Amino acid sequence: MTATITIPCARCGEPRTVANQSPSKNARAALRICRSCAARALAEAPRPTGVSAAAAARHDRRLPAHLLASIAGQTWRNRAACATGDPERFAVNERDAEGVAEAKAVCGGCPVRAECLADALAIKDPNLIAGGLTGTERVELILRRKRRAQ
């Protein structure tokens, strides 16, 4: 079991629990904002015409706004089953079986699941259900692919 530490959100000050890592990674984590503040910031940020706040919020929250705006216009993202609704339902703790099942149910019938999974494998956000897989499942998939390639 990984040890955790509590760090306040850099924006609202609410405590949030993160994995205890090296001192440098803990310091970087202290500069980040909580998911609620990130979702609010993304919803308020200017975005290209035709891109919903939910679609923009699905992207890695650490990306600068100008990069977020450029990738938000990708056509496959607009066709995703999760393009509407609450983006927070895909940012669930893997131990929350009900939340994981709900997010995976949306991914299960998605017409762009393969594109989403490829994107999720590139971004490597462990706290996001994307492409129908949890962060742990995506890591396992990467390791299986590496073993097969050897």
Q: Tell whether residue 12 is among the known ligand binding residues.
A: no
How remote is the C-alpha of 36 from its chain's centroid? 13
Give the helix, strand, coil percentages of the chain, each rounded to 5.
50, 10, 40
Residue the block writes with tokens 């994995």: 19
Q: Tell whether residue 116 is among the known ligand binding residues.
A: yes
Please state the length of the chain: 150
Q: Tell whether residue 110 is among the known ligand binding residues.
A: yes
Q: Tell whether residue 34 is among the known ligand binding residues.
A: no
Q: Write out the binding residues.
A: 82, 107, 110, 116
Residue numbers in the known binding site for [4Fe-4S] cluster are 82, 107, 110, 116
